Structure 1
């Protein structure tokens, strides 16, 4: 049986896994994770004081079971309406330091496949991030 977590925890797992995908969790990415947890309505009932512990839990699961195991937990824990939200959060974290590494791109591909997201929706989410983070 696959472990499950709350939907909010699953969204945090998405963001932490995205940040850790290139083996470097930058300050910009960590700030973005904290900002999203503090401001988005989906986290309104989540105790932000638990963010560090949930992040550690995700890191431990990554170390023990690898990215495939984390993706399974995310899929099993997220209701379908939050799957696009999860992908949007992953894209935001990947873009936070204005440089998306190949490992992060690979994780995004794995995430969208695991969550069975529509390609048009994925493209719209990615385009929106490119527009928001464009320098000129």
Structure 2
């Protein structure tokens, strides 16, 4: 794995990290990742066929020594600052997809927020929006 990757890859890594943080990737979470990649302007020009390959690369990176810390740093370095909030919003979307937010997911959101130096109020607004979208 190279020291950095594309903006698209960084955003996919964020979603895969969130999905895998509880050691299982639900069908709802994987379907949500695919839907977001197809729908959002941040993924314009992304080859959707690479999604599974990037997911495997992310899993391997996370399994390496200090994998989470290294991966979070690579995401930060690979994204332009204007996409930091986008990355956080994508992580929240994946966490909310199965309508159960677990302790591990909350912790990863905190780590991502801190690594990207995001404002707590902005993050709270992103989280509140996701809760409203997924409410039954």
TM normalised by structure 1 equals 0.96
Runs of 4+ in 1 over 2 A off after TM superposition: none
Equivalent residue number for residue 42 of structure 2: 42
Deviations 1:94-124 (A, max 9, x none): 0000001110111011000001001111011
Equivalent residue number for residue 126 of structure 1: 127
Distance across 2 between alignment mates of 1:103 and 1:123: 17
Equivalent residue number for residue 74 of structure 2: 73
Equivalent residue number for residue 26 of structure 1: 26
Deviations 1:35-74 (A, max 9, x none): 0111111111111111111111111100114211110110
Distance across 2 between alignment mates of 1:14 and 1:36: 12
Unmatched segments (≥5 aa) in structure 2: none
Equivalent residue number for residue 55 of structure 1: 55
Equivalent residue number for residue 8 of structure 1: 8
TM normalised by structure 2 equals 0.96
**2:104 pairs with 1:87:** no
Distance across 2 between alignment mates of 1:95 and 1:126: 9
Unmatched segments (≥5 aa) in structure 1: none
Task: Count matched residues.
Answer: 134
